[in-house]
């Protein structure tokens, strides 16, 4: 069984959030996400469920038309097809994200565009 910790996977990137994948099958994908203050995963709506479990820091998780303020211990699940995004607040944010099934490369195109254009909501 794969096992790791948020501490063991920790890595930051000054340019954009860092996602450290450590487990993936055709049914699910688990990554540790590391965000410097203000960094984000742009809002997008893949055909997969996602659960975000915040380990440390504060920020927001977009869930369709709602925005959830999150902090250590927060758990937010966004159903498939709903718009979702994650953004760090004024401090580093660390979270575990589990998607089921893993999004396709095409479904992540809005994420790439949003990062290239520095837009949380492309």
Query: For residue range 48-72, what is the model confidence (pLDDT) as tens digits?
Result: 999 999 999 999 999 999 999 999 9
**Burial of residue 69, with CB atoms counted within 10 A of its CB: 0-12 exposed, 13-18 middle, 19 or more buried:** exposed
- Residues of the chain below pLDDT 70: 1
Domains assigned to the chain: 28-114 (2.60.120.10)
Mean pLDDT (the chain, rounded): 96
pTM for the structure as a whole:
0.95
| Residue that is written with structure tokens 């944010």 in the block | 93
């Amino acid at each position: 069984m794969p096992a790791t910790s948020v501490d063991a996977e920790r890595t930051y990137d000054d340019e954009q959030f860092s996602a450290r994948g450590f487990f993936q099958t055709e049914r699910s994908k688990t990554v540790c996400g590391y965000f410097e203050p203000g960094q984000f995963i742009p809002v997008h709506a893949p055909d997969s469920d996602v659960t975000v479990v915040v380990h440390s820091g504060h920020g927001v998780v977009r869930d369709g038309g709602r925005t959830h303020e999150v902090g250590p211990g927060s758990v937010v699940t966004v159903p498939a097809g709903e718009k979702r995004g994650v953004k760090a607040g004024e401090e580093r944010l660390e979270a575990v994200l589990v998607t089921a099934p893993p999004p396709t490369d095409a479904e992540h195109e809005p994420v790439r565009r949003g990062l290239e254009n520095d837009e949380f909501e492309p």
